[in-house]
Amino acid sequence: MPTNPSWILRSYPSAMPSVENWALEDRPIPQPADGELLVKTLWLSVDPYMRGRISPAKNYATGFKIGDLMCGGGIGEVITSESPEFKPGDVVMSDHFGWQPFSVIPAASAKSVTITDAPIQSALSYLGMPGLTAYFALLKTATPKVGETVLISAASGAVGQIAGQIARIKGFDPVAVAGSDEKLEWCRELGYRTGVNHRSSADLVADVATACPEGVDVFIDNTAGPIHDAAMLNLNTFGRVVVVGTIALADRFDQPDIGVRHLRRTLITRARIEGFLLDDHEGEYEIGIADLQSWYKQGLLQTREDVAEGVETVPHAFVRMLKGENFGKQLVKL
């Protein structure tokens, strides 16, 4: 009987997660019940939101318990279908893929992957959650005007790389914040006007001011932390801040985030600071996908993936993504 090495949550991380928080257990290949599919995993996605699910704290979704199989976004091939909607050989995506080679997923969570003119893993990247997050966070929540300065943190990451290019396509003025000069160089290739390296900067507030001489009109905040402060202190009147992620807090997730509070700045600038969750835009995904596909076909969108290989690498890939050691959308190929 073929084995199914599966990553189980062993402990909640108290600071930055490490691979020791998970254990690889050999489990049998599960059998689908009615309304379920057995799928062979082709790609797994590791995403910042999963940090919140390995915490005992309340979050949008129920977290994993100690001993639970880890799950997340993935793409796989249907092996056995107990649903009339899918048949063996179908390629599907779902957020219910286990960190394991063979998963049972609810058929209701699965969507056929019908991409023909791009690699199928794009459904986990620019044609999936990160691309749509960039699209709606920028165009629907932040609503920049042509010419406005749009600062984007984690600018070369899964969401940032797409947000920067949409900003350029739409005539905004995108400015990157990223963690290495190499990443910033690539951001410039994508069309970011300029950028700030937050790891080498001695004065992030001053460096953001230099990079944004007319101030920050829109901030797509994928990080929180000191970059958020630098953006707030450079924010223009009627600035819009979209809180998309808080990855800079990955190492102190369950402790209060103590620091400078910007309520007076919010008042003076009449800023609008808004939390973003992609699920709230579900009814409009098709519009976003159509635009992203069209831009890709026109050669207007580049994307970069950082691919780890093999089921044994999944927690490593997750942790390096949390630490910003990835370059582009972090995926695991099984």
Residues lying near its own copies in the complex (CB under 8 A) are found at 52, 58-60, 221, 224, 228, 243-246, 249, 256-261, 263-264, 266-277, 280
Nearest C-alpha neighbor of 222 from the set 303, 128, 123, 130: 130
By DSSP bridging, strand 149-153 and strand 216-221 are parallel
Shortest distance in whole angstroms from residue 273 CB to its own copies: 4
Residue 191 or 215 with smaller CB distance to its own copies:
215
Residue 94 or 153 with smaller CB distance to its own copies:
153
Cβ-based burial of 156 (10 A; exposed 0-12, middle 13-18, buried ≥19): buried
Shortest distance in whole angstroms from residue 20 CB to its own copies: 24
Residue 108 or 260 with smaller CB distance to its own copies:
260
**283-305 per-residue burial string, b: 16 or more CB within 10 A, e: under 16:** eebeebbebbbebbeeeebebbb
Nearest C-alpha neighbor of 97 from the set 119, 78, 118: 78
Cβ-based burial of 326 (10 A; exposed 0-12, middle 13-18, buried ≥19): buried
Residue 214 or 274 with smaller CB distance to its own copies:
274
Shortest distance in whole angstroms from residue 281 CB to its own copies: 11
Shortest distance in whole angstroms from residue 47 CB to its own copies: 14
Contact 74, 46 (CB under 8 A): no
- What is the distance between the alpha carbons of residues 253 and 299, in angstroms, rounded to a whole number? 39
Residue 187 or 230 with smaller CB distance to its own copies:
230
Residue 212 or 242 with smaller CB distance to its own copies:
242
Shortest distance in whole angstroms from residue 23 CB to its own copies: 28
- What is the distance between the alpha carbons of residues 207 and 198, in angstroms, rounded to a whole number? 9
Residue 298 half-sphere exposure toward CB, CA atoms < 13 A? 9
Shortest distance in whole angstroms from residue 85 CB to its own copies: 30
